[in-house]
Structure 1
C-alpha cells in the first residue's frame, strides 16, 4: 500500500509529541522499566513503499516479509540452521590436530613446524574468506553466499582425504578454511537481520556456540578416529556431516538481508508496473554507484573498519590475543596428557573437556544475563540505548581468564593428578566466552546494516593470530617449561585486563569521535 513519506514524518512527529505530553512527571520505577523491554529499547522505523515518489520499501511496519517481523519460531529456526554449520566448520580446524602424528608417519614428515602448520593453515582460510564473503553477502544476500561457501568447504574435504603428500593436504586445508569461514562471518549479519536489540545477546550466544565449542569437540573425535580407523576418515566424516547439513540448509534457509529483499521487490515491481523510475528505499541518501563501484566499496569495508575505527581495532586486538592464547593452550594439551600422564592419543582428546565445559558455562551466563543488563542500563539511561552497555561484564570475565594458565601450567609441570590440570582449564573457557560474546554483540549493535563486514574484521584478525602464534608454542614451552611458559601467557592476559575497562568507560567517546561512512552517502 503506497504511503506518503511526508505524511509519515508528520504522523511520527505528532506521535512523539503526544507521547511526551502523556509521559508523567514522575519516572516509573526501575523494575517496571526493565520488564517492559520493548518500550525501553527504541524500535527502528522501517522504510515503507511510496510509489508516488518512486520508492519501494516494506508494506507497512508490520509487513510479514520483513525478517524483523518473522514469527519467533521461524527466526530461531533460521538461526539454528546457520549455527548448525558453525559447529561443523570450526570442528575441522582442530579435529585433525591429534591425528597429525599418524599423517606424519605416512608422509615421513619430522619437521614440527610443518606439522603444526598443517593444522593452523585452516585458520589462514578464516583470515581471507571473511574479507570478501561478508561484503558479497551485503551485495547479493546471505543465502547464496552461504550456500556456495558451504559447498566449497565440503568439496575440499575430498582433496584432504585423498592427499598423497603434505603439500597437497596444506593447500586443500587452506581452501576448506576459506569456504568454512562463511558461516562464522555471516552469522552476525543474520542476527542483525532477524533480531531486535533486546534479543541479540541471547541470539549471538546461540550462534557463537559452534565456533567456540567446535574446536574443543574436534580433538576428542579426531583422536579416536585417527587411532582406531585412519587420519583420512576425519575428512570423510567432515564431508558426510557437512554435506548432510548443507542439504538441509538448502531446503529450509531463506534470505534475511533487508536491502537485498527490497532490491528484489523493486525489480519485480518495475517489471510488473512497467516503470523504470522505482528505487529501493534503502538507497535513499546514497550516491548512485555502478555494480563495480559497489563491489569495490563493499570489499574494502572490513579493512576500513579495522584501520579507521580505533574501537574496532582495539576490540580486534583483544579478541586476537585471547584467541591466540586458546590455540597456544591447544599446542600442549595432547602432548602433556600422552607424555606426562600416559593417555592414548584418543583419550588425550578428552582433556579438552575442561575448556569445553567452561565454554558452555560461560555461554549460559552471557545468554541469561547480557540482554537483561542492557535493559537495566537502558532504563537507567532514561530509555536511551548505547552499544557500550554490552561491555561492562567483560571486566569480570577478563580477570577470570588468566587463572587457568597458572593453575594448568604448574599442576601439569609438577605432574599433579590428571584431573587437576583439566579442571584448571575451566576458568579460561568461562572467561573467553565472557569476553567474546559481548564484543560480537557490541559490533552488531554498532553496525547492524554491515554486521557481517564488521564481524569479518574480528574473524580475520583473530584467525591470523590463531594460525601463526601457536607455531611458536613448541619452542617456547621447550625453552621455559610448562610452568613458566604458561605463566608467561598468564601474565600477558593479566596485562590486557585494563582494556575492557577502557572499552566500557571510553568506548562511546572513541566510537563517536572516529566515525566512518560505510553507507556511501552523499556529503
Structure 2
C-alpha cells in the first residue's frame, strides 16, 4: 500500500517497522532516477488549478528559518541589531552640534531642535509602510531599499547651506531609516522558537536605546573637536585607510565613502515564511508544469487587487492600535518611557552643562550610567528567559501563555519611577554630581526591562502580525519622542529642574500598573481579541510517575495534535486579518475590526 504523504507528518518509518520511508523528499530534487514531474510530492493536493499542491514547511527542512543553525540565526540577529543601533544613534548624535547649528543657521533653539524631533517623527511614519511592505514582499527587499535611501539623505544634511534643507533631509533620513525598528523584530520571530525568542528580542530591543545613549557622548566630543558636518558624514560613510581600487595607496583626503547600512542589508537573507514558500511554489510550478500554491496564497487577501491590499496593510497598524486594548495601553506606556529618553537629551544639557558648567563632550558622559542600566536589564532578561524555558519544558513543550513574558516588565515598571524620583532630587547643585549619575542607572534598567518583556509579549500574542503590532507601538512611541524634546527647555525653565523631573516620575508611577493588569487579566482580555490567536495551555502533568507504552504514545500524539492545531489557528487567523483588505465585503472598517474568527473544523 503506498505511503500517504502528509505535510504535518513526523513519522520517519513504516508503521510495521519495515524499510524507512522518505516522507519528506526535497521538492527541489529528483528521486529514484525520476524527473521532477514524476517525483514523489510531499504536499496535499492534485497539482491542478482546482486542487493545487499546497506548499508548506516539512519537518526538518533546512530552508525553514526556524531550522537554521544557531550560528546563522545569531549572526542575522546581530546584523539586525547593529542596523537598528546605527539608525537610533543617528537621532541623538545631532545633539552634539546644537551650539554650532545655532551659530551657523542663526535661528531659534526650537527650530534647531526640530532637526532632532523630525528625525524621530520619521520613526513614527516609516513603520506604517515598512512593516506591511515586509509582510507583503519580504524583509530583505525592504531593508535594501530603505538602507540605501537612509544613506542618501544623510549626504545633503552634511552639505546643507540652509536650515530648510537640514530639517527636510533629517525627516527623510529618519523615515527611510526606520525599517529595522519594527522589521528586525519580525526577522527574529521568523527564526526563533518561543523558548529562544526572548534572547533574540533582548539583543534587538537594546539597540534602539543603546544608540541614543551613545549619540550624545560621541556627538558631544565630535561636535566640539570637528565641524558639525562630520556628525552626518559619520552616519553616511566609513573612513577607510585603504582604497578599494588602489590598495597600497594611503588616503588622506577625501575619505573613502561606503554605504555601510546598505551593505548590512545585503548580508540579511529573507526570513519571512510566506515569501519563501511563495517563491518555492513558483519554482516548482515552473519546473513540473503542475500547479503549486503556498499555503498562505490560498487566502482572500492575495487575490484582492493591489490597491485594496495596500489599503488594508496601511490601515492594519491603526486597527490594531485602536481596537486592541493590549497594544494601545502598552504603546502609551512605551511611548512615555521613550519620550523620557529623548527628554533627557535636553535635560542632561541643562543639568550638567548649564548648571554644572561641563563641556558638551563631558556633559554626555552621564549617559554611560543609563547604558549600564540597560545592559543589566538585558542580563536580567537572559535569566528570566531561563525561567520561561523551565516552565516550557515542564509543560511538555507546548507554548506558554504570552503573559509568562511579563514578570520582568512588572519589575521594570516599579524600578523606573523610583529611579526617576531619586534622580530628580539628586540634581540639586549642592549634591555631588556622582549621586545623580548613579540614580540615572535605575532609569536605564527600568526602561529596557519594560521594553524587552513588552516586545516579547506582543510577538507571542500576535505571532504573524508581530511586525504590524510593533509598528503600531512604534507610531505612538515615536510621536512622543518627537514631541518631548520640543517642550523640554520651557518645562525645565518654568518648573525648575527638580520639579520637572518629579512630574515625569509621577506619570511613570501612574502608568506602572499596566503590566500588572495584563499579567493577571491578559488571558481574559485576549479571549475577546479579534487578532490575537487563541492560546492552548499545556495539559496538566499526570499523577502517576510511570506510564505504559500506549500512554506515552497517546501523550506524543496529543502534543503533535496540539502543534497542528496551533499551526491551523495561525493560518485561520490570516483569514480574519486578510479579510481587512476586502473592503467591499464590509461597509465600514469598524465592522471589519469587530469580526470574530470562526472555529475551524
Shorter-chain-normalised TM-score: which range? 0.7 to 0.9
Q: Tell me the equivalent position of 1:278.
A: 292
Equivalent residue runs for 1:72-83 within 5 Å = 72-83=70-81
Q: Tell me the equivalent position of 1:178.
A: 175
Q: Distance in 1 between matches of 2:502 and 2:472?
A: 30
Q: Tell me the equivalent position of 1:190.
A: 187
CA contact (8 A) 1:359 1:430 kept: yes
Larger Rg: 2
1:354, distance to aligned residue in structure 2 (A):
1.5
Q: Select the residue among 334, 344, 350 that pairs with 1:319.
A: 334
Q: Secondary structure at the match of 2:178?
A: helix
Q: Which runs of 5+ in 1 are unaligned?
A: 16-46
Q: Distance in 2 between matches of 1:178 and 1:247?
A: 15
Q: Deviation per CA, 1:234-269, whole angstroms, max 9, x where unpaired?
A: 000110159443354244221110100111111112
Equivalent residue runs for 1:364-403 within 5 Å = 364-366=379-381, 368-378=382-392, 383=398, 385-403=400-418
Q: Distance in 2 between matches of 1:212 and 1:314?
A: 21
Q: Distance in 2 between matches of 1:239 and 1:138?
A: 28
Q: Distance in 1 between matches of 2:112 and 2:120?
A: 14
CA contact (8 A) 2:89 2:215 kept: yes
Q: Tell me the equivalent position of 1:228.
A: 225
Q: Tell me the equivalent position of 1:493.
A: 508
Q: Deviation per CA, 1:97-154, whole angstroms, max 9, x where unpaired?
A: 1311111101111x22222222111110001000111100111110010111111111
Q: Select the residue among 352, 355, 378 that pairs with 1:340.
A: 355
Per the normalisation by structure 1, the TM-score is: 0.88
Q: Distance in 1 between matches of 2:196 and 2:75?
A: 15
Q: Distance in 2 between matches of 1:267 and 1:12?
A: 26
Q: Select the residue among 302, 307, 315 that pairs with 1:300.
A: 315
CA contact (8 A) 1:121 1:173 kept: yes
Q: Distance in 2 between matches of 1:338 and 1:423?
A: 18
Taking structure 1 as reference, are residues 338 and 201 closer, same or farther at Cα in structure 2, changes over 3 Å only? same
CA contact (8 A) 1:3 1:49 kept: no
1:296, distance to aligned residue in structure 2 (A):
2.3
Q: Distance in 2 between matches of 1:356 and 1:8?
A: 47
Q: Secondary structure at the match of 1:230?
A: coil
1:379, distance to aligned residue in structure 2 (A):
5.7
Q: Deviation per CA, 1:137-194, whole angstroms, max 9, x where unpaired?
A: 1111100101111111111110111111112111000000011101111011101110
Q: Distance in 1 between matches of 2:130 and 2:185?
A: 13
Taking structure 1 as reference, are residues 313 and 243 closer, same or farther at Cα in structure 2, changes over 3 Å only? farther
Q: Deviation per CA, 1:49-102, whole angstroms, max 9, x where unpaired?
A: 335242342462111111111111111111111111111100000001131111
Q: Tell me the equivalent position of 2:419.
A: 404
Report which of the two has the higher share of helix.
1
Taking structure 1 as reference, are residues 48 and 448 closer, same or farther at Cα in structure 2, changes over 3 Å only? farther
In the alignment, does 2:197 pair up with 1:138? no
Q: Secondary structure at the match of 1:471?
A: helix
CA contact (8 A) 1:48 1:61 kept: no
In the alignment, does 2:526 pair up with 1:467? no
Q: Select the residue among 43, 46, 56 that pairs with 1:49.
A: 43
Count of aligned pairs between the two proteins: 485
Q: Distance in 1 between matches of 2:54 and 2:399?
A: 30
Q: Which runs of 4+ in 1 moved over 6 A?
A: none
Q: Tell me the equivalent position of 2:564.
A: none
Q: Secondary structure at the match of 1:279?
A: strand
CA contact (8 A) 1:118 1:169 kept: yes
Q: Distance in 2 between matches of 1:280 and 1:143?
A: 19
Q: Tell me the equivalent position of 2:83.
A: 85
In the alignment, does 2:89 pair up with 1:94? no
CA contact (8 A) 1:48 1:281 kept: no
Q: Tell me the equivalent position of 2:593.
A: none
Taking structure 1 as reference, are residues 194 and 243 closer, same or farther at Cα in structure 2, changes over 3 Å only? farther
RMSD of Structure 2 on Structure 1 (CA): 2.4
Q: Tell me the equivalent position of 1:70.
A: 68
1:342, distance to aligned residue in structure 2 (A):
2.0
Q: Distance in 2 between matches of 1:422 and 1:259?
A: 48
Taking structure 1 as reference, are residues 191 and 78 closer, same or farther at Cα in structure 2, changes over 3 Å only? same
Q: Tell me the equivalent position of 1:246.
A: 261
Q: Secondary structure at the match of 1:401?
A: helix
Q: Distance in 2 between matches of 1:149 and 1:236?
A: 18
Q: Secondary structure at the match of 1:254?
A: coil
Q: Distance in 2 between matches of 1:247 and 1:3?
A: 48
CA contact (8 A) 2:96 2:223 kept: yes
Q: Deviation per CA, 1:367-417, whole angstroms, max 9, x where unpaired?
A: x12322323444676755111110122111111101232222222223422
1:330, distance to aligned residue in structure 2 (A):
2.1
1:356, distance to aligned residue in structure 2 (A):
1.1
Q: Secondary structure at the match of 2:577?
A: coil
Q: Tell me the equivalent position of 1:164.
A: 161
Taking structure 1 as reference, are residues 3 and 177 closer, same or farther at Cα in structure 2, changes over 3 Å only? farther
Per the normalisation by structure 2, the TM-score is: 0.77
Q: Distance in 1 between matches of 2:7 and 2:113?
A: 60
Q: Which moved more, 1:458-467 or 1:506-515?
A: 506-515
In the alignment, does 2:579 pair up with 1:520? yes
